[in-house]
Homo-oligomer: A and B are copies of this chain.
Amino acid sequence: MANPFRLLDEDPSGARRGELKLERGLVPTPAFMPVGTAGAVKALTPDQVAANGPAILLGNTYHLLLQPGHQLIQKLGGLHAFMGWQKPILTDSGGFQVFSLPKHELSEEGVTFRSEQEGQPTLLTPEKSVEIQEALGADIAMAFDECLPFPCPEPVAAKSIERTYRWEKRCLEARKKADQRMFGIVQGSVYEKLRRRSAEQIVGLRFDGYAIGGVSVGEGQDWMKEVVAWTTPALPKDHARYLMGVGLPEDILEAVERGIDLFDCVIPTRYGRGGTLFTSRGRIRIRHRRYRRDKYPIDLSCDCYSCTRFSRAYVHHLFEANEILSQVLASIHNLRFYERLMQQIREAVSAGRFSALKTELLATLKHAPEAR
């Protein structure tokens, strides 16, 4: 299958604009993928998600494997039909979640884990991960890699990237569906040599796109920037680059500048449910009493459903009253904030002024108006 990515613009800063052409829709990049963990973006209907504009969602293989099971979803017409989302979906390999479980056992074959729900041990292998992602019907599947914790000693990481290489090779060999794209994942912890070596290996396998894994595991923004800066030069320019599990708007800006095209993260929805809202004037904690009587929308410059219909005072009230609607309105707003951020980024790259946008946005993003 042809490379789905097309590079459209390059900014002097290193940022790129492009598009991923998939059967279910075009994804303009840089793009942010909202996370639909268990077949739903938490608290939202697919129409509420779609109204915010994202062109692609991420689904979690691990969660869907456990509940309701990939075979059932396949029988019901695949993940798109099941959850009522007709645009593209990327699924992860399940590895990240399995490696995060306190009880998992690693072998060359794969990872054995016991889920919280079921007592039965389950073996997740490269072949099994591919089978699940094909059953789900993802537009883009992710290769199954070994996810290392942070920190990780260099010799362990060095050994691990070799296994990741063998596993990802097995993923390519296990593919049965011709219409599903697969992205490879580069590992190597925080070691430049290993990141470059892993990138070389994975690129040699010829995937439809490349991801940087093993970030967003507690290493912090400084390491993340380094890892991206080492890795992207080793990735083919004409393929999509995906930084997994990232992140805050400031992390996205840093990564875009280093040549990343795709992102996913639970932050907008998770922060939203907790009452932290992103605005053009900084992050606000809507439960703060200063918003009790505030008649203005969450963000005056936002065009989302929540901002065009309700006041901060109302959203504050809903949180205070523990109304479920608080989580709905906050999630809608934060997802719209992220989508608008990506739009701004794409426009700035086209205009060759990404650095100016980045400087401008970083100056406000970290503000906490309640602290002033």
A residues sitting closer than 8 Å to B (CB atoms) are 38-40, 42-47, 63, 67-68, 72, 75-76, 82-84, 292-293, 295, 305, 309-311, 313-314, 316-318, 320-321, 323-325, 327-329
Contact = CB atoms under 8 A, between A and B. Distances in A.
Contacts of A313: 68, 72, 76, 82
Nearest to A309: B84
Contact of A76 (B67, B305, B311): B311
A42 B295 contact: no
Contacts of A324: 42-43, 324, 327-328
Nearest to A317: B68
22 contacts: A38-B317, A39-B317, A39-B321, A39-B323, A40-B318, A40-B321, A43-B328, A44-B325, A45-B305, A46-B309, A67-B317, A67-B320, A67-B321, A68-B292, A68-B313, A72-B292, A72-B293, A76-B311, A76-B314, A84-B310, A324-B324, A324-B327
Contact of A68 (B46, B47, B320): B320
A28 B327 CA distance: 33
A45 B76 contact: no
Contacts of A82: 311, 313-314, 317
Contacts of A314: 39, 76, 82-84
Contact of A295 (B76, B84, B311): B76
Given A38-B317, A43-B325, A84-B309, 15 more contacts: A38-B318, A38-B321, A39-B314, A39-B321, A40-B318, A45-B325, A45-B328, A45-B329, A46-B309, A68-B320, A72-B293, A72-B313, A76-B293, A82-B313, A82-B317
